[in-house]
Structure 1
Amino acid sequence: MQPLFDAVECGACNKVVPVHRSIIGAKGDRICTSCARPDVVDEPIIYCSTANTPPWITAIGFVHFDLLLGQVLDVLYPPLPLSVSQETEVSFLCFPDANHVADGDSIHDFVFAYNASECDASRMSVKRQSLAADKSPSSAPSPSSSPKRGFDSSSTELFCSTLFRQKRDSSIERGAQQKALVVMSRYPFPSVSHQILRIVCAELWDTPGSDPESTLKAVYDEICSWPPPLPTNTYRLTLMNRELSPYTTPIYTAAQLESLRWSEVNVNASRVAWRAQLVDALVASDATWTNVKRALVVFLGSAGCTTGLRNALEEIVASAVTPDTERVAMTSILRQILEVNSERSGGEHHGHEGGSTSSGALLHLFRRSTEPPLRPDIVCIQNEALEQLQERAHAIVSSPSLSRAECNVNGPRRGKHLFHELEFHHAMRPHLLKLWKLWELLIIGAPLAVISFDAPTVTAICFSLASLFAPLHFGGVLRPYLTINNREVDLFMTEQAPPSTIVGVTNPFFVRKCMKWPHFLCLSKEVDEPATHKMMPVDSEKREKQQFKLKNRMFCSRHYLVKTEKTVGEITQEVSNGRSSPSSKGSFVDLNPSSMEGNSMRQVRQHFLDLTEEFLAPLKIIIQTNLRRLRPFFVMKTDGGGCGDILSEDTLLRELSSFQGVMPYSSFKTRADMLSVYKDFLQTNAFRVWCGEQYEGIRREVLLGAMSLEEVLLMNPQPSTRHLVLQALQEQLDIVISRPIVDLTLMQKLSALCSSIPALRVQLSIS
C-alpha cells in the first residue's frame, strides 16, 4: 500500500487516514481506528432552535363575505405585505368553491404560494385596507409589477388551514352569513392548526362582543410563547386556557424545513448553490472579471440573493469599468457575499473538541504550485467571515433559550411522517383496493387530479396521498385545493399535465379542464354525486366510457406493473367485515387511538411505509456504498445538490439489475416490471430529494467521524487542490448555522474542524 505523505489507506473501508489514526491488523495491513472499534448504534440527531426558527404559525386572519366585493380578508395578524391580488386569492381559498356546505362549520387545508416581488409594503396593516380603495385607477399596478406565472424558487409556500362557517340569516340579502378563520404556517401540522381554529372560533364567534383584531393578536402572541416545534418531539400545549391534545411532531429534517415546499422547482433550488459557485469563481487563482461576471449574473437572479445584497452588488458592478478596478471590485463582491447579517457576539470564542493540529504541521499536506492557491486579500475576507460564523455558533450553544430535541429517525421509536395524522379511510373506502395503483403513480411521479364533493374531503385525500409513499418526501407540486379564482389554474389546465403533481378540486368545471390528464380520481357521497359527465364534451372518450357518470370511479391511462390482487383484508379486517362508512363526515384528524377506524388507518399506513422502504432498500445500499467509496467528493461539494452528478441513472440501473441482495420481487408482476418502475422513479423529483438526503447523511457521517482537520484534508488525494477543502468546510458551517433548525452535533464538529483554518490560510498565502 503506497502511503500518501503521512497517510495510509485502510484495508477495511479503503479510507485514507493519517498514520497515527491507524493500527496494524491481524493480516499485517493497516486498519483505521474507526474500523477497529466495535459497531456503535446510531445515535439520534440532536436538533436545537435558534432565533431563525419559525413559530408554530406565521399569521392568523379573519375573512368575511361582502355582497359587493366577495370574500375579503378583513384582519391579518401579524400583517403580511400581501398585494390585493394575493389577498383575493387566499380569501377565495378559504371559502368552498361550490355551495355543498349546509349550516355549520367545516375545516379544510390548502397550500398558498406567493411571490415576495409581488407584495405591497404599503399594505402592512392589521386591519386590511378596503379593496374598493385599492382597486382605484390611481393605485393600479404598473405593467412591471404584473403577477408572475409559474413556479419559481423565490415563492413562499405556506400551509394554511381554514374554518368556514355558514349560518342562515334572513336579514342579509344573500340569505346566509359566511365567514372564515385562516391559520398560515411554515409547518404542515393539520392537527394543531385545526385545534387552534376551533378554540379561536369559540372565543371570537361564540363569545358576544369579541373584537377580531385584539383576539387574533392575543392568540398569536400566546402561540409565539410555545416552545419551538422540533422533529419527533411531543408537546402539550395550551391556548386561551384550553389544553390541546398531546402532539408529536413528525419526522422532517433541517434541510426540509429550510425549503419545506411542494413545488418541484422550489425543492430543486438550493439556497446557497449559486452563492457557492460565485465564491468559487472569485477565489480561483486565475479569476478574471469575465468569469466572475458570468457567475455574478446568475447569482443576482437566484433566490439566494437578497434584495439588499443585490442592490449592493449592482453598484459594485457598475463601478468596475476599467481593468485597474477589477481586482478591487472582485474583492468587494466577495466581502458582500460572505458577510454575515447578524450581530457579532461578544466574549471569548468557545473551546473546540479535537482537531488540535497546528497550521505549521498541516502545510506539508499542500503541494506548492506556480501560483499561490490563496491570495492575501481573499484570505483576509474569508477569515473574517469564518470568525463571525464561529461567534454565531458560540452564541447558539450558549443561548439561555436554547431548546433541544432528539430526532429518532430510525429504530422502534421512529416518529410519524408528514400528514400521517390525517384520517382518509372513510373517504377513500371505495378506492381502498386501488391504493397499490395510486402508490405506483406516486412512485413514478405521474400527475393525479382528485375531485370530491367538498373541500375537507378533497384536501384530506390529497395530503394523504402525498404521504402514502413515506418516507419519501413528495417533491412535486401539491395543490390540494384549487378554486376557479386561483392564478395557478392556467398552469395546471394545459394540454399536457405537469409531472409529479397532485391537484384537488370540488367544482365540476375542472373535469372539462382536466380532461387531458392521464389519471383522475372521482369521489362522491351516496346521495350527492357530482354530475361530472354533464360538464364533458359529447365526443369525449371519458364520457363515452361513462367513467365519471358512475360515482366513485378512477380513470387511469397506465398499464400497472405493481401487483393489485391484494385485498385490504390482508392488512386489516375492518373493511373485510363489510362495515359501511358513516353518514356523518368526520374531521379527518384527532382520531381516538383505540377506535377501530384509527387502528385500521394506522395499519394501512404502516403497510405502505414498509412497502416503500422495501422498494428503496436496494437503492439505499447501492448509493451509500458508492458514496462511501467516493469519500473525497463529500467534503468539496457544498451546494446540497445530492449525488446525481456522482451516480448516473445508467449506473444505478446497471447495479440494480445485478444486485445480489433482497429485491422487492413480491410487489411487482415480473422482474422486468420492477426494473421499469425503478427506471421511472430515478427520473422523478422525489428521487432527487431522497438522494440528496442520502448524500447529506453520508457527508454528516464522514465529518463526524473525522478526528482532525488533517484527516479531512487527506480525504482529497490531490494535494494541489486541498485548499478548496478549507472553503468547503466554511461553506458547510455557514449552511448548518443558517438553517431554521440547527444540527447541534454537526455544527460543533464543523466549528472545531475550522478552528485551525485561519492560521493555515495565512501560511498558504505567503508560502
Structure 2
Amino acid sequence: MIAGQLKSSSSSTLANRPLPDTDSSPNPLARRRMSRSKTLPRIPRAAHRTQLSLDGLSMDTEKIAKLRRWIMSLITVNFDLEVGPKITSIYPPLQLTHAEAQNIAFSSFPDSSQFEEGSQTHSFRIRSRGLVEGENWDVDAVRPTTVDGFIYGFSCFTRTKDALSKRGYQQTSIVILSHLAYPSLFDTLVCKLAPSFMSHGGPMLEAACHNIANWPDPIPGTALEFGFLGAVLHVELPQAIETQQAMSALAPGRTRETDIQILASICPPDPPIIGLFEAVVSNLWSIWECVVLSEPILVFGPSPSMSSRAVWWLRDLLRPIPLSGDFRPFFTIHDADHTALVNPRPPQAGLLVGVTNPFFDKACRHWPNVLSLGRQPTTQEKKNSSHSPLVVGPPPGWRSTHRRYTSRDRTLLKQLETACRGSEQAKREASEALRQHLTSRTNALLVPLQRYLQTLIPTPSESRSNLSVPARLKAFQDAAFFASLKAHGSPLPFKSSSKQREFYERWLRTPAFGLWLARQEEVVQGVLNGMM
C-alpha cells in the first residue's frame, strides 16, 4: 500500500488491518474452489499512483444486473479546491440526484482535523432521495431499490503528499455504495480495493465489479464462499436484518492466509472495539440501557472511522429488537438531513448519530446523551500536553441524564479494565466478551414479554369454539403484563423491584416495543392461520 502509515494514533488504519497481500501466491496444492487467478487480473505494479481512467472499462447489462444484487456502484471522490469533495467517477454508471451526489461526496471525506497522511476506512448512511422539480437523470442506468429507504456507503480515504498540488497533498476516497446494511463485509471489500486502486488505477474497479457480479445471490441465512481481488471470503449472511450474528458461528480458523471470515451484519471486529470505549468502560451498561430504551445518543469521535464503527456496534446491540429510530454512522453538516436531525428541538427517539465536527458539541448541547470516544490522557501525557496534538470537541467520556436500572457485571468490568492496559489479543477477547454479554442482556430483556405473550395465544379449544371468526392473538394488557413480571421477574439484574418495573414501563412506551409487538403478532398469526 503506497499510502503508508497514518500519523494519527486515534485512527483505525489500513496499515494495521490484517489485509491479505494482493500479490501473494498461495500454494496451488492448498487452493480451493476460489483462487487468485480467478479474482485478480495480472496487472504490472505501477511505480506511483496512476491517474484514473475509465476508458475501455465496461460491463454488459446482464453483469450489471448481477452486480447490483450486492452493490450499486463503485465511486471515486477527489478534493476540488473550489467546491470541496467532488465525485470524479461512478462505475458502473448509476442514477444519483444532486442531493445524493453531494451527500456522498462530503460523507466520503473526513470532517476532522485529526487526519494527516495515510489511509482510513469509515462508513455512512444517507437517505435515498427522488428527483426535484427541473432535475433529470443524467444516465439511463436504473439502480436497485433500497430496503429501508437509505443508501450505505463504505469509504476508504487516502491522503498522500503531492508536490504538484496547491495544498501539497492528494486526497482521494474510494466508495462502495450498497442497498445492503452489511458493514463488516463491505468494510473488508473496500480495504482490499483501495490500495489496489491506488497502485493500479481504474482497471481495479472493473476487476472488483466483475468479481462481485460472479457471486451467488445474497440469500439471507446462508454461508457463502466467493473470491475478491485474490482473497477468498467466507461470509455468513444474517437470517434477517434483526438477527443477532454470533462469532462462534464462524469456523475456528482460516484455511490459508488469503481466506477471510466475515459475519456480514456486525461492526468490523478489527481493531478491537474496546479501544473506542476505554474512557467509558464503567458506563457501558448505562449506554446499553439508553440504546434499548430508544434514547438518542450523539457519538463524537476524533475520526469518522471511530465514530462510524461505534454507531454500528451500538446498533448491533439492539438486535433482535427491531430498529425504530434513525442511525447515521458518520454524519456531517453538509448532509441534506442536517436540519431535520440537528436542531433546537428534542432529538428523535432512538437516534444514533456519529460525528467528528466540534460544531455538533454545541449544536447538540441539549441532547440527553453524548458519548465521546477514546481514552483519557494519562498523568504523564497531561504534563506533556504542550507536545500533544490539539484535541477538539468534548473530551472522552459519557455525558448523560440517564440513571442506570441494572447492575454492572463486576467480573467483566475488571476484565475490560485490564484489557485496556493489555495486549491486542486481550483487547480482542474482551471486546467479544463484552458484545456477547450485552447482546445476552438484550435477549434477557425480552424474556418476560415473551413469557406473557404465550398467555395471549388462543388455545386449540378457544380456536375451535368460534370457527366463523379467525383465531387472533389476544390484546396486550399492561396491567396483566406487570402482574406476570411481578410474579416471575426478569433475568436482568435490576437494582430493585421498583427499578425493574420502571424500566419496563419506559420500554413499553418506546417505538421499539410497538414494532416488536407487531412482529410477534405477525409470527403468531401466521402459525394460527396455518392451523385453520
TM range (shorter): 0.7 to 0.9
1:239 to 220, 223, 228: 228
Paired residues of 1:89 and 1:486 also in contact (CA < 8 A): yes
Q: Displacement, 1:508?
A: 0.5
Taking structure 1 as the reference length, the TM-score comes to 0.52
Rounded Cα–Cα distance in structure 2 between residues aligned with 1:90 and 1:457: 19
The code of the aligned residue for 1:243 comes to: A
1:443 to 288, 292, 298: 292
Q: Deviations over 1:218-255 (max 9, x none)?
A: 42232122012223322222123x124422223416xx
**Identity among equivalent pairs (%):** 20
Paired residues of 2:147 and 2:180 also in contact (CA < 8 A): no
Q: Deviations over 1:27-55 (max 9, x none)?
A: xxxxxxxxxxxxxxxxxxxxxxxx99962
Q: Which residues in structure 2 correspond to 1:363-442 (within 5 Å)? A: 418-419=265-266, 421-422=268-269, 423-442=272-291
Q: Displacement, 1:217?
A: 3.8
Rounded Cα–Cα distance in structure 1 between residues aligned with 2:209 and 2:282: 43
The code of the aligned residue for 1:232 comes to: G
Rounded Cα–Cα distance in structure 2 between residues aligned with 1:160 and 1:408: 22
Paired residues of 2:73 and 2:92 also in contact (CA < 8 A): yes
The code of the aligned residue for 2:177 comes to: M
Paired residues of 1:195 and 1:244 also in contact (CA < 8 A): no
Structure with the larger helix share? 1
SS in 2 for 1:658: helix
1:674 to 468, 481, 500: 500
Paired residues of 1:561 and 1:668 also in contact (CA < 8 A): yes
**1:249 equivalent in structure 2:** 237
Q: Displacement, 1:196?
A: 1.7
Question: Aligned in 2, Cα 1:529/1:157: closer, same or farther, shift over 3 Å?
Answer: same
**1:162 equivalent in structure 2:** 155
2:348 to 498, 514, 531: 498
Rounded Cα–Cα distance in structure 1 between residues aligned with 2:419 and 2:244: 36
**2:70 equivalent in structure 1:** 56
SS in 1 for 2:128: strand
2:86 to 72, 82, 85: 72
Question: Aligned in 2, Cα 1:698/1:462: closer, same or farther, shift over 3 Å?
Answer: same
2:365 to 503, 512, 515: 515
**2:30 equivalent in structure 1:** none
Alignment gaps of 5+ in structure 1: 1-50, 127-152, 257-406, 533-547, 583-594, 707-711, 713-767
Paired residues of 1:72 and 1:91 also in contact (CA < 8 A): yes
SS in 2 for 1:236: strand
Rounded Cα–Cα distance in structure 1 between residues aligned with 2:98 and 2:83: 12
Paired residues of 1:183 and 1:197 also in contact (CA < 8 A): yes
Rounded Cα–Cα distance in structure 2 between residues aligned with 1:65 and 1:437: 40
**1:575 equivalent in structure 2:** 417
Q: Which residues in structure 2 correspond to 1:63-102 (within 5 Å)? A: 63-102=77-116
**2:396 equivalent in structure 1:** 552
Q: Displacement, 1:437?
A: 0.3
Paired residues of 1:473 and 1:686 also in contact (CA < 8 A): yes
Matched, 1:562 2:406: yes
Rounded Cα–Cα distance in structure 2 between residues aligned with 1:154 and 1:244: 27
Considering Cα pairs closer than 8 Å and 6+ residues apart, tell me whether 1 or 2 has the greater RCO. 1
The code of the aligned residue for 1:111 comes to: R
Question: Aligned in 2, Cα 1:636/1:690: closer, same or farther, shift over 3 Å?
Answer: farther
Q: Displacement, 1:409?
A: 8.9
2:138 to 116, 123, 148: 123
The code of the aligned residue for 1:554 comes to: W
Question: Aligned in 2, Cα 1:692/1:221: closer, same or farther, shift over 3 Å?
Answer: farther
**2:194 equivalent in structure 1:** 201
SS in 1 for 2:317: coil
Question: Aligned in 2, Cα 1:243/1:154: closer, same or farther, shift over 3 Å?
Answer: closer
Matched, 1:454 2:303: yes
**1:596 equivalent in structure 2:** 426
Rounded Cα–Cα distance in structure 2 between residues aligned with 1:83 and 1:219: 25
Matched, 1:656 2:503: no
Matched, 1:692 2:518: yes
Q: CA RMSD in A?
A: 3.4
Q: Which residues in structure 2 correspond to 1:128-147 (within 5 Å)? A: none
SS in 2 for 1:449: strand
Rounded Cα–Cα distance in structure 1 between residues aligned with 2:218 and 2:334: 33
Question: Aligned in 2, Cα 1:436/1:636: closer, same or farther, shift over 3 Å?
Answer: farther
Matched, 1:223 2:84: no
**1:190 equivalent in structure 2:** 183
**1:536 equivalent in structure 2:** none
Rounded Cα–Cα distance in structure 1 between residues aligned with 2:130 and 2:148: 7
Q: Which residues in structure 2 correspond to 1:321-336 (within 5 Å)? A: none
Paired residues of 1:251 and 1:418 also in contact (CA < 8 A): no
**1:616 equivalent in structure 2:** 446
Paired residues of 1:251 and 1:416 also in contact (CA < 8 A): no
Q: Displacement, 1:580?
A: 5.1
**1:731 equivalent in structure 2:** none
Paired residues of 1:158 and 1:185 also in contact (CA < 8 A): yes
SS in 1 for 2:124: strand
Matched, 1:477 2:326: yes
SS in 2 for 1:609: helix
Rounded Cα–Cα distance in structure 1 between residues aligned with 2:374 and 2:497: 37
Rounded Cα–Cα distance in structure 1 between residues aligned with 2:74 and 2:419: 43
Paired residues of 2:225 and 2:233 also in contact (CA < 8 A): yes
Question: Aligned in 2, Cα 1:198/1:636: closer, same or farther, shift over 3 Å?
Answer: farther
Paired residues of 2:325 and 2:348 also in contact (CA < 8 A): no
Rounded Cα–Cα distance in structure 1 between residues aligned with 2:66 and 2:158: 35
Q: Deviations over 1:495-515 (max 9, x none)?
A: 211111011110111111001
Larger of the two Rg values belongs to structure: 1
Alignment gaps of 5+ in structure 2: 1-64, 251-261, 378-387
Question: Aligned in 2, Cα 1:669/1:660: closer, same or farther, shift over 3 Å?
Answer: closer
Question: Aligned in 2, Cα 1:409/1:510: closer, same or farther, shift over 3 Å?
Answer: closer
Q: Displacement, 1:99?
A: 2.7
The code of the aligned residue for 2:276 comes to: A
Rounded Cα–Cα distance in structure 2 between residues aligned with 1:168 and 1:444: 47
Rounded Cα–Cα distance in structure 2 between residues aligned with 1:417 and 1:680: 32
Rounded Cα–Cα distance in structure 1 between residues aligned with 2:249 and 2:111: 41
Paired residues of 2:299 and 2:354 also in contact (CA < 8 A): yes
Q: Displacement, 1:570?
A: 3.0
Paired residues of 1:524 and 1:530 also in contact (CA < 8 A): no
The code of the aligned residue for 1:699 comes to: Q
The code of the aligned residue for 2:412 comes to: E
Taking structure 2 as the reference length, the TM-score comes to 0.73
Paired residues of 1:57 and 1:186 also in contact (CA < 8 A): yes
Question: Aligned in 2, Cα 1:121/1:52: closer, same or farther, shift over 3 Å?
Answer: farther
SS in 2 for 1:122: coil
Question: Aligned in 2, Cα 1:473/1:230: closer, same or farther, shift over 3 Å?
Answer: same
The code of the aligned residue for 2:237 comes to: T
Paired residues of 2:99 and 2:336 also in contact (CA < 8 A): no
Greater mean deviation of Cα atoms: 681-690 or 460-469: 681-690
Rounded Cα–Cα distance in structure 1 between residues aligned with 2:88 and 2:527: 50
Question: Aligned in 2, Cα 1:659/1:84: closer, same or farther, shift over 3 Å?
Answer: closer
